[in-house]
Chains A and B, each alone.
Chain A
Amino acid sequence: MSPIRRPALAAALAGGLALAALAGCGGGSGFDSTASSSGAIKVLIGSSGDAETAAVKKAVAAWSKQTGKKASVSVANDLAQQLSQGFASGKPPDLFYVSTDQLAGYAGNGSLYAYGDKLSDTGDFYPNLVQAFTVDKKLYCAPKDFSTLQLVINTEMWQKAGLTDADVPTTWDQLDAVAKKLAASSGAKAGLTFSPEYARIGSFMAQAGGGMTNADQTEATVDSSANVTALDYVKKLLTDGAAAYSSTLGAGWGGEAFGKGLAAMTIEGNWLIGAMASDYPDVKYRVVALPAGPKGPGTLAFTNCWGIAAKSGHKSDTVKLVDYLTTAQQQIRFADEFGVIPSVKSAAEQWQQQQPGYAPFIAGADYAQNTPSTQGSADVVSDFNSQLETLAKSDPKTILASVQKSLAATMTQ
């Protein structure tokens, strides 16, 4: 910590505002006009690693070569911050990743160009992905790819505990039973692990027939009895020795705990496959569907889209670039190169035949629930996460009631 600093407000805000300050006081009128249309299309991505960066760079370069339009790809360290800075300064990148929880904020303040109707074909996208990026009946951006959660099992530990294929859990009770058995006799510290957050535990809420909101995301339904059932069950898993949070096991996320052999099962998305291959290549595992809850199967879907800035000077060219990047052919290339599931059905089905290991994740798309994406919901979810960390010691009803209050407040605004 450096004890000598500028006043608080300057420290916190000067960085972001300096550019805006210069422009705002420099006579101004030229500032709000659209950025110049000369120069290359700027693409800003939040990359999961070298494989993704290289794949996106290659695809954009191929498009440039084909069309003769210049485009450059850069990788953000902190995408949300860099985008916010870009929007505030009036010089945002033309094309960038947008996550569902950021969408409403950017759409709400007019930073995003809603280009859904300009795309050449939106019919092949998975419908719930299209819904995830639709605000006020306008499709803001094209789904880039998606991921779902499923159950991942360490096969060696599974056998060591004397379990067979017939024991793969399909109900909550079975999951509880095998997790306990694995905890007792597989050598792992815990039978099942997942990180203490809605983005994992929400799958149990979906299986119980609950969710954060109704299907249209117009009403908060956090305190529903289905959600209470789900959290009661998760609390039971955590307290009866079946499951432990990855943080309790000393791991940063479920995949790390699973890869290190601290737990025999985990709930993670398809990004796990890439992580296992690069970090824990010796661990043998299989992916199965999450067990069904009282209201049938359920999982969560996570997705990003290709956002275009409202202040972009290359709107029509950038839409063409998105068209190119979301074709079935290109998405299969991305899938091969960094393991994401294509956002268009035809590509996902084709790719599933090539990579049967991903089948449960792809199958999840048909029944997966979207995470809340309304304005202010990101804050509520992080508050929910902070309360879930102490779930083992708390009353699920109290947690859900407080989150309900917060989420409802953001929706009536």
Chain B
Amino acid sequence: MTRGSGRRRIQLHHTRDGWLFVAPVLLILGLFLVLPVLMAAWVSVSDWHGNGSPFASGVGFVGLDNYRSILSGGGLAERDFGTSLRNNLYYVVLVVPLQTALALFLAVLVNQRALRARGFWRTAFYFPSVTSSVAITVLWLFLFSTTGAVNRLLSFVGIHGPNWFQDPDGLVHLLLGRLGVDSAPGALADHGAIGITWWDWLAGPSVAMTAFVAMAIFTTSGTFMLLFIAALRNIGEETDEAGLIDGANSWQRFRYLTLPQLRPTVFTVVTLGLIGTWQVFDQIYTGTQGGPAKTTLTPAYLSFSSAFNNQQWGQGAAIAFILFAIIVVLTLGQRWLLRERS
């Protein structure tokens, strides 16, 4: 009896001390993460318009009105949200696979023992990641201006480069234009989803967005390269040597021995990539503010501008929550896709 209660007392002490130790973290997380999230959740279902506390007596509950107006309102808010989703979707679809592939490629390259000055290359590839995204955006605006370095380079091979950050034409539309399809076939022009027609959904990323895609791949591949290098180091050389003895060529060894062992890292990289690309904000804010013709508008930027510039705080918060849902669903989806099949 006495021994038992003594143990319980010790456990009690342990529990209390444990809580004491995590309390600062809990407090900080609660204050700066949980509380703002809950507030944003309330704002997204309220008619608060940015004056005073959202919990003041004059602020009313409007149910899902804010969500309705951006998902099915039929107005400008819906069209803007649809446009931003389309833009970001193409951005994600291009950036995530390309940056993952490039990061893996660079990691394998840098990890080769035959390579000289590996430290130098590692630093060189990683360097864009540590540079501020605002600085890189400004650099990009110069590189991709009408008379910028990129267009000069293109002119050497006889290509008249576009006016990158001012060109709202979608790549798919441009391609179709080459094939002689200039305007939408009736069925595509008359129907649509979230305020924009299927024809506009199919526009593809605009030329301006493509420049942002290139920038994202340039800056983030280095970060993910580091993750892949660490994973490659972990694998060790035994399996590779075993494959060599079995007569597998270098591609076969990479494809069937190395890559399967990198699965957890690929999952991490793709997840981080998805989250990062769906939340793209700083480049848009400093670079184009959504233009030209709203083709670089993204949900994160739209959320900011509806709240801060148009006092539509409810809609801004609602957009943020929809974005959150998209990211969660996509992450779960790719976890299922990359699961270990027995």
- Chain A contact residues, CB within 8 Å of chain B: 1-14, 16-18, 20-25, 28, 31-32, 80-81, 84-85, 87-88, 90, 102, 105-106, 108-111, 247-250, 310-311, 376, 378-380, 383, 386-387, 389-390, 406, 409-410
The smallest beta-carbon distance between A283 and chain B, in angstroms, is 19
Inter-chain CA distance A88–B317, complex, in Å, is: 14
Contact between B275 and A2 (Cβ–Cβ < 8 Å)? no
B66 within 8 A of A: no
18 contacts between A and B (CB under 8 A): A8-B320, A8-B321, A12-B281, A12-B319, A13-B320, A17-B54, A21-B39, A24-B53, A80-B308, A81-B309, A87-B50, A88-B54, A111-B51, A249-B146, A250-B145, A250-B146, A386-B294, A409-B74
Beyond A1-B216, A13-B39, A16-B307, 5 additional contacts (C-beta under 8 Å) are A7-B37, A12-B323, A18-B36, A379-B77, A409-B76
Residue among B52, B53, B56, B80 having the largest count of chain A Cβ atoms under 10 Å: B52
A410–B80 alpha-carbon span in the complex (Å): 14
Q: Are B163 and A250 in contact (CB under 8 A)?
A: yes
Contact A13 B133 (CB under 8 A): no
Instruction: Tell me if B52 and A5 are in contact (CB < 8 A).
Output: no
**Does B32 have its Cβ within 8 Å of any Cβ on chain A?**
yes
Q: How distant is the Cα of A1 from the Cα of B140 in the complex, in angstroms?
A: 13
Known: A17-B40, A406-B76. A84 touches B311 (CB 8 A): yes
Whether the Cβ atoms of B275 and A24 lie closer than 8 Å is no
Residues B308 and A10 in contact, CB atoms below 8 Å apart:
no
Given the interface pairs A9-B40, A10-B33, A80-B308, the reply to whether A3 lies near B50 with Cβ below 8 Å is no
**Interface flags, B182-219, vs A, CB<8A=1, else 0:** 00000000000000000000000000000000001001
Instruction: Provide the bound-state CA to CA distance between A4 and B279, in Å.
Output: 10
Q: CA–CA, A289 to B35, complex, Å? A: 57
Contact assessment for A1 and B283 in the assembled complex, using a CB-CB cutoff below 8 Å: yes
B220 touching A1, Cβ below 8 Å: yes
CB-nearest residue of chain B relative to A19?
Answer: B53
CB contacts (< 8 Å) of A390 on chain B: these are 168, 293
**Given A8-B300, A31-B52, A386-B294, CB of A248 within 8 Å of CB of B279:** no
Chain B: which residue is nearest A14 at the CB level? B36
Are A106 and B52 closer than 8 Å at their CB atoms?
no
Looking at the complex, which one of B56, B223, B282 makes contact with A3 (CB distance below 8 Å)?
B223
The answer to whether B147 and A108 touch across the interface, beta carbons within 8 angstroms, is no
Nearest Cβ on chain B to A27's Cβ, whole angstroms: 11
Q: A9-B321, A21-B39, A24-B39 are in contact. Are A389 and B52 (CB under 8 A)?
A: no
Q: Is B53's CB under 8 angstroms from A28's CB?
A: yes
* Inter-chain contact A17/B43, CB cutoff 8 Å: yes
A31 and B53 contact, CB distance less than 8 A: yes
**Does residue B278 face the partner (Cβ distance < 8 Å to A)?**
yes
Within 8 Å by CB of A20, from B37, B54, B281, B316, lies B54
CB closest residue in chain B, given A408: B75
CA gap between A378 and B43 in the complex, in Å: 22
Which residues of chain B are within 8 angstroms of A17 by Cβ–Cβ distance? 36, 39-40, 43, 54
Which residue of A is nearest B323, CB measured?
A8
Indicate which residue in A32, A248, A376, A389 contacts B310 across the interface (CB closer than 8 Å).
Answer: A376
Q: Is the interface of A mostly helix, strand, loop or mixed?
A: helix
Does B292 sit within 8 A of A, measured CB to CB? yes
User: B49 in the interface, Cβ–Cβ < 8 Å?
Assistant: yes
Chain B residues near A11 (CB-CB < 8 A): 279, 281, 300
A406 and B66 alpha carbons, distance in the complex (Å): 17
**Given A1-B282, A250-B163, are A84 and B76 neighbors across the interface (CB < 8 Å)?**
no
Q: What are the residues of chain A within 8 A of B323 when measuring CB–CB? A: 8-9, 12
Q: Assess the A9–B37 pair: CB atoms within 8 A.
A: yes
B166 contacts which of A6, A25, A247, A409 (Cβ < 8 Å)? A247
- Is there an interface contact between B163 and A8, defined as CB atoms closer than 8 Å? no
Expressed in whole angstroms, the Cα–Cα distance for A383 and B168 within the complex equals 13
A386 to B56, CA, bound (A): 37
Measured CA separation A386–B79 after assembly (Å):
13
Whole-angstrom distance between the alpha carbons of A131 and B36 in the complex? 40
Encode contact with A along B128-146: 1 for CB under 8 Å, 0 otherwise.
Answer: 0000010000000000011
Q: Is the CB of A28 within 8 A of B55?
A: yes
In the complex, B304 has a CB within 8 A of chain A: yes
Residues 269-319 of B contacting A (Cβ, < 8 Å)? 272-273, 275-283, 291-294, 299-300, 303-304, 307-311, 313, 316-317, 319
* Interface pairs A-B: 7 shortest CB-CB: A250-B146, A109-B49, A3-B276, A9-B320, A105-B311, A247-B166, A386-B293
- Complexed CA–CA distance, A110 and B57 (Å): 14
Q: Which residues of A contact B36 (CB under 8 A)?
A: 9-10, 13-14, 17-18, 21
Bound together, the chains give a CA A25 to CA B53 distance in angstroms of: 10
In the complex, which residues 48-88 of chain B have their Cβ closer than 8 Å to any Cβ of chain A?
Answer: 49-56, 74-77, 79-80
B293 and A81 contacting across the interface, CB-CB below 8 Å = no
Contact between A10 and B55, CB atoms less than 8 A apart: no
B293 → A minimal CB distance (Å): 4
> Which residues of chain B in 133-169 are interfacial with respect to chain A, using CB atoms and an 8 Å cutoff?
133, 145-147, 163, 166, 168
B80 to chain A, nearest CB (A): 7
Measured in the bound complex, the distance between the Cα atoms of B187 and A116 in whole Å is 54
Distance in Å: Cβ of B299 to nearest Cβ of chain A: 8
Chain A CB within 8 A of B327 CB? yes
Contact B216 A386 (CB under 8 A): no
C-alpha spacing A81/B310, complex, angstroms: 10
Which of A106, A378, A389 gathers most chain B CB within 10 Å? Answer: A389
